[in-house]
């Protein structure tokens, strides 16, 4: 047995083996998988904009007018007026100074943290931050700190230790605004209060809240925050239904990233069709606020119903509603049962989430109806009851 087969067997035994499933056609509210029509509960298309006629038309016109690709990196001839138009739109949405496009949220987090950390000193990162943050920290030559999830008391203690060390660097604190696996929000006001006290740079990853909760960061920033040391990363590949990401922040910092963020410098620029679709999605989201309102209503209804049914959904307070199953095996069995009932909800397992907290991550969208949420809850109840009975028989 070669080492790769052995590693794959080990993953399989631990119920951690993943494989690619081929969908029959592009997924929307429903998708076709293995000949079965399923309600899609794993989509990041939270506002239903991926299929919006205006968004699709804008992308189609751009590719016909400008071509399939940018033809190079932004620094070597791949920059188009469309890129700056989208960056200016972001600057209006997140008025922190300047914005810079990246190809993905992963590439943005990787490039920003690796570029800024050597300048700013130690990094303080919430333990449940995205894997892209963890990946950036792996290559960080200096010490970094991971504080307990949303634990501002521990973060304060770490910051006090940094101050007492005599290190003149301000430090960099990283947090998601909406945590992608648990569906809970960061304590933004507490983070900003700590920033006012300690003077660190704050990097906020709002990948899963971009477009869905526009007031989330805006209200916090309006309360006297030191915006000269705040950077925000957002995406167009989730609520806005397309692809790509951005970082908004102080002008000198963004200019520094243009010169040092390797994932930006050495990547071909986003193609015109992606930029045009993102611009259209921003317009539609603002013109159709009912999409955000419906998403919030669906999320509140689902959380209340799931808790009444006794599902463990942790501290979810958003449209991301995990149903915790426990072990990897239990999550796989629950996901399989839901698939046979007509629901696409792949299991999320360790190491993506902590050991013993495997789950189905239910991603709600504005396109789902309360009746469908009620039927979903019925099926989850039935699957959990059947699983419990089988465990008891064993």
The reply to whether omega before 351 is within 30° of 0 (cis) is yes
Of 366, 365, 364, 330, nearest in space to 348 by CA: 330
Return the structure tokens found at 309.
Answer: 């049914």
Residue 298 half-sphere exposure toward CB, CA atoms < 13 A? 26
**pLDDT > 90 fraction of the chain, expressed in percent and rounded:** 83
Q: 122: which residues sit within 8 A by CB, 6+ positions away?
A: 142, 143, 144, 145, 162, 167, 169, 171, 172
CB 183 within 8 A of CB 322: yes
pLDDT band at 394 (very low <50, low <70, confident <90, very high): very low
Q: What is the mean pLDDT of residues 358-384?
A: 96
pLDDT of 376? 97
**Of 1-15, 80-94, 312-326, where does mean pLDDT reach its minimum?**
1-15
Confidence of residue 46 (pLDDT cuts 50, 70, 90): very high
The band of 388, judged by pLDDT with boundaries at 50, 70 and 90, is low
List the catalytic residue out of 83, 98, 130, 344: 130
Does residue 242 surpass a pLDDT of 60?
A: yes
Structure-block tokens of residue 119: 């300048």
Predicted pLDDT at 1: 64
C-alpha distances in Å from residue 335, one per residue of 26, 194, 304, 360: 21, 41, 21, 7
**In the prediction, which pLDDT does 389 show?**
61
Confidence label for 18 from pLDDT (cuts 50, 70 and 90): confident
Of 52, 145, 162, 208, the catalytic one is 208
The arithmetic mean of pLDDT across residues 272-284, rounded, is 98
Question: So what's the pLDDT on residue 60?
Answer: 97
98 is an active site residue: no
**Contact between 186 and 179 (Cβ < 8 Å):** yes
**Other Cβ atoms within 10 Å of 333 Cβ, number:** 20
393 pLDDT above the threshold of 60: no
The active-site residue, picked from 15, 29, 42, 44, is: 44
Inter-residue contact 38 to 344 (CB < 8 Å): yes
The answer to whether 353 and 181 have CB atoms below 8 angstroms apart is: yes
Between 1 and 63, the higher pLDDT residue: 63
Comparing 214 with 75, the larger pLDDT belongs to 75
Residues 145, 238, 319, 344: which is the catalytic one? Answer: 238
The reply to whether 44 belongs to the active site is yes
Determine the average pLDDT of the residues in 14-37: 85
- Strands 230-235 and 245-249 turn out to be antiparallel
Residue-level pLDDT at 227:
73
Task: Specify the DSSP class assigned to residue 75.
Answer: G
- Rounded to an integer, the average pLDDT of 118-146 is 89
Would the pLDDT of 222 be above 80?
A: no
Give the other-Cβ count within 10 Å of 23's Cβ: 14
* Residue positions counted in the chain: 394
Average pLDDT, the chain: 93
Domains with residue ranges and CATH for the chain: 23-50+289-393 (3.90.1150.10), 70-270 (3.40.640.10)
Angle at 359 between CA 232 and CA 238, to 5 degrees: 35
Catalytic-role residue among 205, 298, 318, 319: 205
Mean of pLDDT values over 81-88: 97
| Residue 153 pLDDT | 98
**Range 248-261 average pLDDT:** 97
pLDDT at 260 over 60: yes
Residue 141 confidence (pLDDT) = 67
208 a catalytic residue: yes
pLDDT in tens, 158-196: 999 999 999 999 999 999 999 999 999 999 999 999 999
User: Which of 176, 184, 206, 367 is labelled catalytic?
Assistant: 176
Active site residue 10: no
- Known catalytic residue: 369? no
Which pLDDT band, with edges at 50, 70 and 90, does 24 fall under?
confident
Contact yes or no for 95/264 (Cβ under 8 A): no
Closest CA to 82 of 256, 243, 278: 278
Q: Is 180 a catalytic residue?
A: yes
Q: 189 CB contacts (<8 Å, ≥6 apart)?
A: 220, 223
Q: Is 238 in the active site?
A: yes
Q: Which of the pair, 360 or 142, is modelled with greater confidence?
A: 360
For the record, the structure tokens of 93 come out as 């949405």
Q: Which of 45, 180, 335, 363 is catalytic?
A: 180
Burial readout 196-231 (b: 16 or more C-beta within 10 A, e: otherwise): eebebbbbbbbbbbbbbbbebbeebbeeebebebbb
């Amino acid at each position: 047995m070669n080492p790769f087969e052995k590693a794959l067997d080990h993953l399989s035994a631990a119920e951690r083996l993943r494989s690619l499933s081929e969908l029959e056609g592009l997924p929307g509210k429903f998708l076709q998988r293995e000949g079965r029509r399923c309600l899609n509960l794993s989509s990041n298309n939270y506002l239903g904009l991926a299929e919006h006629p205006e968004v699709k038309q804008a992308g189609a016109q751009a590719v016909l007018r400008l071509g399939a690709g940018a033809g190079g990196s932004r620094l070597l001839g791949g920059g188009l007026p469309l890129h700056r138009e989208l960056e200016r739109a972001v600057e209006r949405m997140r008025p922190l100074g300047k914005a810079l496009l990246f190809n993905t949220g992963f590439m943005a987090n990787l490039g920003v943290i690796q570029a800024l950390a050597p300048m700013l000193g130690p990094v303080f990162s919430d333990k449940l931050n995205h894997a892209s943050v963890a990946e950036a920290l792996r290559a960080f030559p200096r010490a970094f700190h991971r504080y307990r999830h949303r634990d501002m008391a521990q973060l304060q203690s770490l910051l006090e230790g940094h101050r007492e060390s005599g290190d003149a660097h301000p430090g960099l604190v990283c947090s998601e605004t909406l945590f992608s696996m648990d569906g809970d929000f960061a304590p933004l006001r507490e983070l900003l209060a700590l920033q006012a006290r300690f003077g660190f740079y704050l990097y906020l990853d709002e990948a899963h809240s971009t477009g869905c909760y526009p007031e989330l960061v805006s209200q916090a920033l309006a309360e006297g925050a030191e915006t000269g040391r705040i950077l925000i990363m957002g995406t167009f590949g989730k609520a806005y239904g397309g692809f790509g990401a951005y970082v908004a922040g102080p002008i000198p910092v963004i200019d520094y990233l243009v010169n040092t963020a390797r994932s930006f410098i050495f990547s071909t620029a986003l193609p015109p069709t992606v930029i045009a679709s993102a611009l259209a999605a921003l317009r539609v989201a603002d013109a159709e606020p009912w999409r955000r309102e419906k998403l919030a209503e669906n999320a509140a209804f689902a959380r209340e119903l799931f808790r009444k049914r006794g599902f463990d959904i942790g501290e979810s307070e958003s449209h991301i509603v995990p149903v915790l199953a426990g072990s990897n095996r239990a999550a796989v069995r629950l996901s399989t049962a839901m698939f046979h009932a007509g629901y696409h909800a792949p299991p999320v397992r360790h190491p993506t989430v902590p050991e013993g907290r495997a789950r189905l991550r239910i991603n709600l969208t504005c396109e789902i109806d309360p009746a469908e949420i009620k039927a979903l809850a019925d099926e989850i109840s039935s699957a959990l009851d059947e699983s419990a009975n089988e465990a008891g028989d064993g």
